[in-house]
Amino acid sequence: MPKGSPVSPPGRPKGEYRSAQHEGSPVSAHLRVVCPHCDTTNRGLRERLDAGANCGSCKQALLPGRPLELTAANFDRHVAGNDLPLVVDFWAPWCGPCRMMAPAYEQAAAQLAREARIAKLDTESEPGLASRFGIRSIPTLVVFRNGREVARQSGAMDLPGLLRWIRAGG
Ligand SMILES: [Zn+2]
């Protein structure tokens, strides 16, 4: 190699998440996680999916521990591409109970980062998605698993209620 040529770190295939942990791991299932920043579907080992796991494409944190914002542009990709359950809070800025629940929802997102994808959808800016899912009151929480709705509940919940409901599968 000629002197002075740029040295780049050994790359990984695009879309495989990177982790701060490097120890060998036993055989385990791969898990798909859609990046909350660039919407790339990442595949990697479940035990590598931790707070240090980064997107193989944009290198940002895959589990930022806060709700990700869904829009018509990325909604279907997140519903279909995550192997973790995806929880969507259908809300709106003018909705008092939604705003009241927001801090608890953010805390739930931090605590459930490895267990579920926690997302928000602003029904004011995305009325098409609200009507597609027949959202009649907000806040309404909907849980998707393997691309399909498995549970929904309307009305604000506190943090213990959110954790319990989401961990029970909605
Ligand atoms: Zn990314």
Q: State residue 20's pLDDT score.
A: 54
Tens-digit pLDDT profile for residues 101-147: 999 999 999 999 999 999 999 999 999 999 999 999 999 999 999 99
Please tell me the distance between residue 159's alpha carbon and the centre of ligand 1 in angstroms.
28
Q: Among the options 35, 38, 55, 95, which is catalytic?
A: 95
Tens-digit pLDDT profile for residues 58-86: 999 999 999 999 999 999 999 999 999 99
As a whole number of angstroms, the distance between CA 107 and CA 22 comes to: 29
What does residue 150 show for φ and ψ, rounded to 5 degrees?
-115, -15
Please tell me the distance between residue 8's alpha carbon and the centre of ligand 1 in angstroms.
20
Q: Is 35 a catalytic residue?
A: no
Supply the pTM of this predicted model: 0.84
Please tell me the distance between residue 123's alpha carbon and the centre of ligand 1 in angstroms.
25
Tens-digit pLDDT profile for residues 35-56: 999 999 999 888 888 878 999 9
Q: Give the β-pairing of 41-45 and 68-70.
A: unpaired
Look at the alpha carbons of 65, 67, 72, 77 in this order and tell me if their dihedral is positive or negative. Answer: positive
Task: Give all strands (DSSP E) within the chain, no chain letters.
Answer: 30-34, 41-45, 68-70, 86-91, 117-122, 140-145, 148-154
Q: Is 55 a catalytic residue?
A: no
